[in-house]
Amino acid sequence: MDRMASSMKQVPNPLPKVLSRRGVGAGLEAAERESFERTQTVSINKAINTQEVAVKEKHARTCILGTHHEKGAQTFWSVVNRLPLSSNAMLCWKFCHVFHKLLRDGHPNVLKDSLRYKNELSDMSRMWGHLSEGYGQLCSIYLKLLRTKMEYHTKNPRFPGNLQMSDRQLDEAGESDVNNFFQLTVEMFDYLECELNLFQTVFNSLDMSRSVSVTTAGQCRLAPLIQVILDCSHLYDYTVKLLFKLHSCLPADTLQGHRDRFMEQFTKLKDLFLRSSNLQYFKRLIQIPQLPENPPNFLRASALSEHISPVVVIPVEASSPDSEPVLEKDDLMDMDASQQNLFDNKFDDIFGSSFSSDPFNFNSQNGVNKDEKDHLIEQLYREISGLRAQLESVKTESQRAMLQLKGRVSELEAELAEQQHLGQQAADDCEFLRAELDELKKQREDTEKAQRSLTEIERKAQANEQRYSKLKEKYSELVQNHADLLRKNAEVTKQVSMARQAQADLEREKKELEDCFERVSDQAQRKTQEQQEVLESLKQELATSRQELQLLHSNLETSAQESMCQLAKDQRKALLVQSRKAVERMVQEALSQLEEPTLISCAGSAEHLLSKVKSVSSCIEQLEKSRSQYLACPEDISDLLHSVMLLGHLTSDTIAHGSSTSLRAPPEPADSLTEACKEYGRETLIYLASLEEEASLENADSTAVRSCLNKIKAIGEELLPRGLDIKQEELGDLVDKEMAATSAAIEAATARIEEMLSKSRAGDTGVKLEVNERILGSCTSLMQAIQVLIVASKDLQREIVESGRGTASPKEFYAKNSRWTEGLISASKAVGWGATIMVDAADLVVQGRGKFEELLVCSHEIAASTAQLVAASKVKADKDSPNLARLQQASRGVNQATAGVVASTISGKSQIEETDSMDFSSMTLTQIKRQEMDSQVRVLELENELQKERQKLGELRKKHYELAGVAEGWEEGTEASPPMLQEAVPEKE
C-alpha cells in the first residue's frame, strides 16, 4: 500500500484544457517587438547594401509598413545610423532612395522623427559634393532634394508626403490669401528645381549611346527617378493652378518673374519626361504622362479650362512570391483552442475518458499485480514527457504564426486606411468637379458672349495700335529734330551772348570816350566865349585906334588857332591815356584773379587757349599798324584806340583761359602755364605804358609780348590730347588691333584661370579647394561674359561703320569720327588691362599670397571698363538696332558675372576667416588688456588710413575722368559720358 501511495504521488495532475492568457501576454508583446525589430533590420540592410542594383520593392515595402506599424521611423533611423553612409557612396544613394519612399508613402510621423537629422544630411551633402565622379555628385544633389522636401512639408503641413491633394485642399492651403499663394508658388518652384536638378544629373551621368536601362548599374541610378516623376507631376499641376489664381488677383507685370521661371522649368520637365518615356526600364514600371506642346497662357483666364492635370499611372503588381496568407486574430484563437482539444482527445484515448475522476482506475484494476502497474506508470510517464515536448513545439509554432499574422494584419490595416483616405479624396474631388462643371458651363456661355465682343474689341485695338505706332514714329522723329534744334540753339545763343557782351563792352568804352570829348568841347566853347567878350571890350576901349585894333585882331586870330590845335592835341592824348588806363585795369584784374578759387569750376581746354593766343597775336599786329598810322597822321586816333581796347579784352580772356586750363593739366605744365600767363600780363602792361608819351610811342616794341605768347602756345600744344598725335589714316587699323588684342587678352586670361583651377584641384583639399573652385568658376563666367560683350561690340561697330560711311571706306569713316574712334580704343585697352590684372590677383589669392580685396577691386574695374566700352559703342548706334540690344544684354551679363565674382569672393573670404579661430585661453589678464590696447590702436590707425585712402581714391578718379575727358573729347557734346561710367561702378559695389 505504501508503494502504491508513493506511485500516486509521483503522477502529475491532469493538464488544463485552456492556457492561461494573462501570463503569456507580456511575453508575446516583447517577442513581437523583438521579431518586428529583427524583421525591419533585415529588410533595411537588404534594401541598403553596397551592390550596384536597384532597391527591391518588397524590402522597401516592408520598411514602409514598419513605419505604419510603429507610427514613426525610430527603428529605421536606429538601423541607418549604424551604416557607414559617409564612406560608401552606394550605401548613401540607396539610403536616399529608401528615405524618399518613406517620406512619400510612410507614416506622417516619419517627417517629425527625421527633422533632427536634417543638419547631418546637409553636412553629408556638402561632403559628397566634393567628388565629381561616380555617385558623389548624385548623392550630394539627392540629399539636397530630401532636405528641401523636409523643409517644404514642415512649412506646409497641409501637404501630405505623396503630394496628393484636391483643388479644394489646395485652396485651403493658401488660406484664401494672395500673399500666401505667392509665397507657396515660390516654394514650389524651389522644390521643383531640386527635383529637375536630380533628374538632369542622373541622365547626364548615364551613357545614353548604350542601353543602360537594361543593366543593373543603370537601373540602380534610374530607380529613384520614379519617385521624382511622381513628385514632379503633382508640383507641375499645382504650379499651373496657383499661377492662374495669382493672375486673377495681381497685375501681369508683377508676375513676370514667375512666368519666366515657369517657362524654364516647363521646358526642362517636358524634355525629361520625353526622354524618360523612351527608356525600356520605365515602360514596365510606370506610365509617364506627356506635357502639352505649348505652355499654358496665364494671361488668358479661360486657358485654365484647357489645362489637363498630368497623371502618372503605375501598373498593378502581381503578388510577391514571399507573401503569406493573412489570418485574422479570431482564427488564431480558434487554432489555439483546436490544438488544445486535439491534445485532450489524445489524452483521453490513452488514459480513458474517466481518468479525470479515477486517474488509475483502481476500482477496475484491483486484480492486477504491482509489476503491471509499475510498467503502466512508466509508460504513462514517457507519453506525458512526449506530450509535453509536443505541447512546447505547438506553443512555439503558434507564437510564431501569431506574430506573422499580426504583422500582416497591421499591413492590411494600413493599406485599408490608405484606401479609405483615397476613396474619401476621390469622393471630395468628384463633388468638387461636379460643382466646377456647372460653374464652367455657365462660364462657357458667358465666355462665348464675351468672345464675340472681344473679337471686335481686338480688331479695333489692332487698328488703334497701328495708328499709335505710326504716331510714335512721327513723335520720335519730332523729338530727335527738336533735340538737334535745341542743341544748335544753345550753341548759337552762347555765341550771340559772347558777341553781345563784347559789343556792350565796346559801346561802354565808346560812351565814356564821347562823354570825355563832350566835356573837352564844352570847356573849349567856354574859353572861346570868354575870348569873344574880351575882344568886344577891347573893341570898345580901342575904338580910337583902328590900326592897333587890326594888329590886335590879327594877333588874336593867330593865338586862337594855336590854342585850338593845342586843345585838340591834349584831347587826343587824354583819350589815349584813359584807354590805356582802362586796359591796364582789365589786365591787372585778370592777373589778380589768376589764383582765385572762383576759376576752379570754369571749363578750359588747350585748344581754346591756343585759339585765344592766335587772336592776341593778330590783335598785336593790328595795333602795330594802327600805331604807325597814328605817328604818320596824329589827327586819326580811332584805330589806335580800338586796337588798344581789343588787346586789353583779349589779354584778359587769355589769362583767364590759361588759369582754367592749368587746373586740368599735370602739376609741372600747370605751373609753367601759370608763370607764362603772369609774365605775359606784366609784359603787356609794360608795352601799354610805352604808348603813353609820344617819344616812347615811336620806340614801342612788342617783341617781349610776342615771346610770352609763344611760350603759352608751346605749353598749350604740349597739353593737347595724346590721341591727336595719331595719324588719321591709322585710326581704323588701330581700332581693329586693339579689339583683337582685347579678345586675345580675354582668351589668355580664361586659359590661365583653367590652369589655376587644375593646379588647385591637384594640390588643395577641403575648404580651400571649395573656395578656389568657387572663385575661379565665377572668374571664368566673367571672362565668358566679356567675350560675348566684345563680340557684340564688334558687330555693333561694324553696323555703325556700314550705315554711316556711305561711299567712303571704313578707315575714312574712322578718321572722320576720330574722337569716337579714340574712345573705342581707350575702352578696349581698359577691358584687356582689367582682365589681365584680375587674373594676376586671382592667381595670388589661390596661392594664398594675395588679398581678396584686390580681386573685388579688379572685378569692379572690369565692370566700369565694359560699361565704358558699351557707352563708347552706343554713341553712334541706332536705338532700334538688334546689335545694340544684344550689346546691352551682354553688358547686363557682365554685371551679373561681376556680382557673382564679388559674392564668391566675399563668401570665400568669410569661409576662410571662419577656419582661423582665436584662442585666448592661455593668456593672463594683463596680456589680454595689452592685446586689447594694441587692437584699439590698430583700429584707429586703420580708420585713419582708410579715410586717407578714400580721399586719395576720390582725387585719382576725378583726375582720371578729367584727363580721359580731354583725351577723348567729352567736352564736345559728350560731357555726360564720364558721370555715367562713374555711376556704373558704385551701382555694382
Cα–Cα distance, 873 to 739 (Å, whole number): 12
The Cα angle at residue 81 between residues 79 and 83, in degrees rounded to 5: 80
Residue 397 pLDDT exceeds 80: yes
Most confidently modeled of 261-270, 377-386, 644-653? 261-270
Residue 1 pLDDT exceeds 70: no
Query: Mean pLDDT over residues 662-670, rounded?
Result: 72
Q: At which residue does the C-alpha cell 587692437 appear?
A: 935
Q: Position 940: which residue type? A: L
Given pLDDT bands bounded at 50, 70 and 90, which one contains residue 597? very low
DSSP string, 902-921: HHHHHHHHHHHHHH-----T
Higher pLDDT, 175 or 343: 175
Is residue 861 a contact partner of residue 986, using CB atoms and an 8 Å limit? Answer: no
DSSP 968: H
- How many Cα atoms occupy the beta-carbon half-sphere of 779 within 13 Å? 35
Cα–Cα distance, 482 to 473 (Å, whole number): 14
List pLDDT tens digits, range 89-126: 899 999 999 999 999 999 999 999 999 999 999 999 99
CA dihedral (961, 964, 968, 970) in degrees, to 10, reads 20
What are the residues whose beta carbons fall under 8 Å from the beta carbon of 294, sequence distance 6 or more? none
List pLDDT tens digits, range 443-495: 888 878 878 887 888 888 888 888 878 888 888 888 888 888 888 888 888 88
- Tell me what the pLDDT averaged over the chain comes to: 75
Among candidate residues 793, 798, 952, the one with its CA nearest the CA of residue 867: 793
Burial of 192 by CB count in 10 Å (0-12 exposed, 13-18 middle, 19+ buried)?
buried
Q: At which residue does the C-alpha cell 576752379 appear?
A: 600
Query: Mean pLDDT over residues 841-846, rounded?
Result: 72
DSSP 51: S
Given pLDDT bands bounded at 50, 70 and 90, which one contains residue 557? low
Q: What is residue 440's predicted lDDT score, i.e. its pLDDT?
A: 83
Least confident of 397-406, 434-443, 449-458, 734-743: 734-743
Residue 197 pLDDT exceeds 90: yes
Cα–Cα distance, 905 to 771 (Å, whole number): 8
Residue 33 pLDDT exceeds 60: yes
Most confidently modeled of 367-381, 443-457, 759-773? 443-457
Q: What is residue 915's predicted lDDT score, i.e. its pLDDT?
A: 58
Cα–Cα distance, 290 to 269 (Å, whole number): 10
Residue 939 pLDDT exceeds 80: yes
Query: Mean pLDDT over residues 272-287, rounded?
Result: 86
What are the residues whose beta carbons fall under 8 Å from the beta carbon of 761, sequence distance 6 or more? 769, 773
Residue 20 pLDDT exceeds 70: no
| Percentage with pLDDT > 90 across the chain | 13
Cα–Cα distance, 313 to 287 (Å, whole number): 5
List pLDDT tens digits, range 629-639: 777 776 667 77
Q: What is residue 350's predicted lDDT score, i.e. its pLDDT?
A: 44
Burial of 953 by CB count in 10 Å (0-12 exposed, 13-18 middle, 19+ buried)?
exposed
Residue 921 pLDDT exceeds 80: no
Cα–Cα distance, 806 to 800 (Å, whole number): 11
Is residue 286 a contact partner of residue 314, using CB atoms and an 8 Å limit? Answer: yes
Among candidate residues 629, 618, 610, 608, the one with its CA nearest the CA of residue 702: 618
Cα–Cα distance, 812 to 807 (Å, whole number): 10
Q: Position 252: which residue type? A: A
Cα–Cα distance, 348 to 769 (Å, whole number): 85
Q: What is residue 694's predicted lDDT score, i.e. its pLDDT?
A: 63
SS3 content of the chain, % helix, strand, coil (to 5): 80, 0, 20
Cα–Cα distance, 340 to 390 (Å, whole number): 12
Q: What is residue 982's predicted lDDT score, i.e. its pLDDT?
A: 39
Q: What is residue 195's predicted lDDT score, i.e. its pLDDT?
A: 92
Helix, strand or coil for residue 361?
Answer: coil
Cα–Cα distance, 645 to 207 (Å, whole number): 93
| Predicted structure pTM score | 0.37
Among candidate residues 838, 826, 835, the one with its CA nearest the CA of residue 869: 826
Distance (Å) of CA 170 to CA 166, 175, 248, 428, 506: 6, 9, 16, 13, 88
List pLDDT tens digits, range 776-803: 787 888 778 787 877 777 777 777 777 7
Query: Mean pLDDT over residues 886-915, rounded?
Result: 76
Helices (H) and strands (E) in the chain, counts: 30, 0
List pLDDT tens digits, range 602-646: 445 676 777 778 888 888 888 778 777 777 776 667 777 777 777
